[in-house]
């Protein structure tokens, strides 16, 4: 048994019932095998065993009172995974599906993603099994306050800096920050994704979606192509999906479909993003209503059939495991040329295999959606320096970072003999920096 296989077996035995964590660890560690072969000193230093073990796991009770006066209790999590290259950094997810396995898979991915940005940020992730859907503003606020009452003792501008993720947008970050400030009496960059009036950065809202499109644009560009005239399918209709759609449209692509967790809309004339934004960002309504408003558009209940729509470029931007093997095969059969992951782990391992065997340019999440956390790090820099950069300044830094990530993963894949395999490239490029830092810091 190889070192990688032994570490994976130990991980599965010691962390039973955590399928998403197993999946992410398997995907990452198996692609690192050639690196491990080249660096036998890593095994001696127990580097992989330490890499897959979070530095700290915090689980806590989140009690709150709903509008009917009834007491509700949720589970809160923060996994501080790896601080070798900087303070823990990663989003908070509020969704009923949240459990330790999901937070650990996201945290593990985050370590490499953050490293790939080239900025000094470690990896962490957190959240709660709380469903913000259908809750009043007051309920959201009381939940966020209770969540922060506990979380505040574990985070700090130089320790651990959470941000948003599914179910945690500007509103939630505002409530979380307000509570942190009240308890700690510090107006510091302890959360990113803050509003512009209290320390936020321009472009943070757009960053993940824009970054996703910038890295895809670079992949197109090196192949002598562009977004102009391309048909694009985007899943989700949340923060990442909306701004990915906006940037694709700015670059001349046509987005024909999007979804929310109930079903998808198809609009052959190209999605009218103003309508989607009004429904999702302002009214917090269901995407179904788009088909009632926009002539010629259709709505289909259920999500997975969105991948039966022929497209040149697919941008999954909703959630994990939304493209399985069958969906991947259908996409390939219908001529998809590029798949770039806006969501975290939206493609199953089987699906990735289908894309790679078919020669689809596949850009994995930890590279493709790193624009969000990269801009969060730019927000941290502005907070520490008490500075405020213009939209153009942040946007051009973001674009530069995404272009660099593309070439870093391309070069690493080439260096190890896996040209065009961006899963290998992203994992190796991200891992090398973390491994160097961990080796330099001794057994900690």
Given the rule CB under 6 A, which residues bind ligand NDP? Answer: 164-167, 169, 208, 236-241, 260-262, 303, 317-319, 342-344, 369, 372
Nearest approach, Cβ of residue 437 and ligand NDP (Å): 23
CA distances to 61, 62, 96, 99, 241 from 73, rounded to whole Å, are 7, 6, 12, 14, 31
Nearer to ligand NDP, 317 or 429 (CB): 317
Nearer to ligand NDP, 7 or 202 (CB): 202
Sign of the alpha-carbon dihedral angle for 416, 417, 423, 425: positive
Residue closest to ligand NDP, measured at CB: 238
Nearer to ligand NDP, 36 or 342 (CB): 342
Nearest approach, Cβ of residue 364 and ligand NDP (Å): 12
Nearest approach, Cβ of residue 369 and ligand NDP (Å): 4
Nearest approach, Cβ of residue 277 and ligand NDP (Å): 12
Q: CA 81, CA 90: separation in Å to the nearest integer?
A: 10
Nearer to ligand NDP, 262 or 390 (CB): 262
| DSSP-assigned letter for residue 287 | G
Which residue among the candidates 89, 104, 113, 125 is catalytic per the annotation?
125
Annotated active-site residue 125? The verdict is yes
Nearer to ligand NDP, 126 or 238 (CB): 238
Percent helix, strand, coil in the chain (nearest 5)? 50, 15, 35
Nearer to ligand NDP, 237 or 412 (CB): 237
Q: CA 192, CA 194: separation in Å to the nearest integer?
A: 5
CA distances to 92, 294, 396, 424 from 27, rounded to whole Å, are 23, 41, 32, 9
Nearest approach, Cβ of residue 401 and ligand NDP (Å): 14
Nearest approach, Cβ of residue 96 and ligand NDP (Å): 10
The angle formed by the CA atoms of residues 24, 107 and 242, to the nearest 5 degrees, is 90
Residue 56 in contact with residue 140, Cβ under 8 Å?
no
- Buried b or exposed e, range 204-240, using 16+ CB within 10 angstroms: bbbbbbbbbbbbbbbbbeeeeeebeebbbbbbbbbbb
| DSSP-assigned letter for residue 169 | -
In 192-338, which ranges are continuous DSSP H helix? 204-221, 239-250, 273-277, 290-293, 325-333
Q: Which residues are catalytic?
A: 125
């Amino acid at each position: 048994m190889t070192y990688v296989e032994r570490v994976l077996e130990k991980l599965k035995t010691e962390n039973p019932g955590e399928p998403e964590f197993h999946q992410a660890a398997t995907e990452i560690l198996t692609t690192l095998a050639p690196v491990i072969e080249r660096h036998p000193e890593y095994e001696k230093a127990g580097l992989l065993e330490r890499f897959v073990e979070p530095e700290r796991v915090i689980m806590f009770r989140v009690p709150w009172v709903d509008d009917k006066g009834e007491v509700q209790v949720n589970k809160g999590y923060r996994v501080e995974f790896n601080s070798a290259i900087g303070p823990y950094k990663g989003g908070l997810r509020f969704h009923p599906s949240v459990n330790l396995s999901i937070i650990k898979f996201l945290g593990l991915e985050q370590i490499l993603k953050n490293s790939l940005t080239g900025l000094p940020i470690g990896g962490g992730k957190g959240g709660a099994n709380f469903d913000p859907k259908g809750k009043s503003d007051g309920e959201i606020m009381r939940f966020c306050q209770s969540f922060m009452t506990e979380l505040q003792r574990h985070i700090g501008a130089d320790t651990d800096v959470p941000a948003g993720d599914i179910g945690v947008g500007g509103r939630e970050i505002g409530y979380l920050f307000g509570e942190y400030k009240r308890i700690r009496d510090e107006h510091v960059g302890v959360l990113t994704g803050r509003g512009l009036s209290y320390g936020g950065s321009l472009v943070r809202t757009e960053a993940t979606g824009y970054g996703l499109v910038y890295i895809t644009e670079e992949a197109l560009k090196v192949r002598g192509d562009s977004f102009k005239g391309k048909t694009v399918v985007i899943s989700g209709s949340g923060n990442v999906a909306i701004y990915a759609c906006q940037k694709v449209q700015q670059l001349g692509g046509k987005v024909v479909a999007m979804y929310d967790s109930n079903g998808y809309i198809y609009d052959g004339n190209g999605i009218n993003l103003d309508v989607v934004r009004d429904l999702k960002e302002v009214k917090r309504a269901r995407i179904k209503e788009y088909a009632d408003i926009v002539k010629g558009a259709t709505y289909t209940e259920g999500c997975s059939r969105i991948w039966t729509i022929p497209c040149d470029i697919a941008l999954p931007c909703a959630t994990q495991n939304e493209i399985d093997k069958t969906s991947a095969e259908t996409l390939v059969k219908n001529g998809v040329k590029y798949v770039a992951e806006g969501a975290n782990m939206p493609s199953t391992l089987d699906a990735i295999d289908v894309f790679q065997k078919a020669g689809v340019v596949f850009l994995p999440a930890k590279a493709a959606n790193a624009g969000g956390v990269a801009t969060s790090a730019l927000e941290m820099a502005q907070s520490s320096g008490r500075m405020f950069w213009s939209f153009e300044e942040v946007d051009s830094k973001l674009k530069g970072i995404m272009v660099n990530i593309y070439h870093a993963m391309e070069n690493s894949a080439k260096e190890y003999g896996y040209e065009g395999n961006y899963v290998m490239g992203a994992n190796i490029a991200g891992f090398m920096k973390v491994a160097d830092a961990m080796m330099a810091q001794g057994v900690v």
